[in-house]
Amino acid sequence: MPLTRPFLAAVVVTVAVSVLGVVGWHAASGHVAAASAERIASASPTASPTPTLTPFTIDSDVVVIGDSIMAGYGLDDAADAWPAVLGQQTGAQVANDSCSGAGFVSVGDCGTDFAGLVPRAATAKPELVVVQSSDNDFDSDPTTVAQATQQTVAQIHQAMPGATIVGLSTLWDQPGDVPAEVAQTSSALQQAVTSVGGTYIDVGQPLAGHADWLQADSEHPTVAGQQVLAATFRADLERAGFHL
């Protein structure tokens, strides 16, 4: 289903019942923000470990980069995760480049952080990249998280200069007050995304207060919860001007 972007003149950068239908977007070039001194000193983006991940769809309309929530952790079928539902319901080719336990700093079960996922994401030649900040980075120093987020978003933009990139805020589904780290990690992504001319969306906490939408760990969505995320993210994108 074709997608139009009547108001965009620059590349939009990152990180949901119905879901997002995304095909045929066009993006202009933007300016890449400077990589953090810390990351440059330690290793280049391509030095990240090669991730061990599930089979990947090449020549995709959409690539998503995220953590266990995007990956569908705890579900019987990964096809029930919201990115897969996106493809099933819209016909868009969606490549899920998510990794449980990963973040912009945190190394996930696949053996890398988000930066290590970018080279594989680029092989899909996507028209849209969605990246979401993660609570997996909560134990890291906020300055380190901000630097790593800036570096990785710049890497995404460099690796996929023709793609539209959207950043989504951090989800927090567990009981109790929302910790300050949610705002910190979300703000880091917002700054990184806007610095390269991209679009940042605060998705709020659509699953908060709905234990029936969460698995027994009170964090990861059930199938019903994934459907809610799909619907929420689509509505947020449309409000941001991404007309389906």
- The pLDDT tens digits for 203-232 are 999 999 999 999 999 999 999 999 999 888
Condensed to tens digits (0 to 9), the pLDDT of residues 108-150 reads: 999 999 999 999 999 999 988 999 999 999 999 999 999 999 9
The three-state secondary structure class of 242 is coil
Least confident of 8-12, 66-70, 160-164, 181-185: 8-12
Q: Please give the structure tokens belonging to residue 85.
A: 């539902």
Residue 1 pLDDT more than 80? Answer: no
Distant-in-sequence, close-in-space partners of 102: CB < 8 Å, separation ≥ 6: 67, 108, 109, 110, 112, 113, 114, 117, 134, 136
Residue at token pair 């234990």 = 211
Tell whether pTM > 0.85: no
Calculate mean pLDDT across residues 182-197: 96
* Per-residue model confidence (pLDDT) at position 45: 41
pLDDT band at 243 (very low <50, low <70, confident <90, very high): low
Res 27: pLDDT: 34
Does pLDDT of 47 surpass 60?
Answer: no
- Residue 166 DSSP SS3: strand
Reply yes or no on domain 37-239 having CATH 3.40.50.1110: yes
Q: Assign 18 a pLDDT band (cuts: 50, 70, 90).
A: very low
**Phi, psi (degrees; rounded to nearest 5) at 154:** -60, -40
> Is the pLDDT score of 191 beyond 80?
yes
pLDDT band at 51 (very low <50, low <70, confident <90, very high): low
pLDDT of residue 28: 32
Q: What's the pLDDT score for residue 222?
A: 97
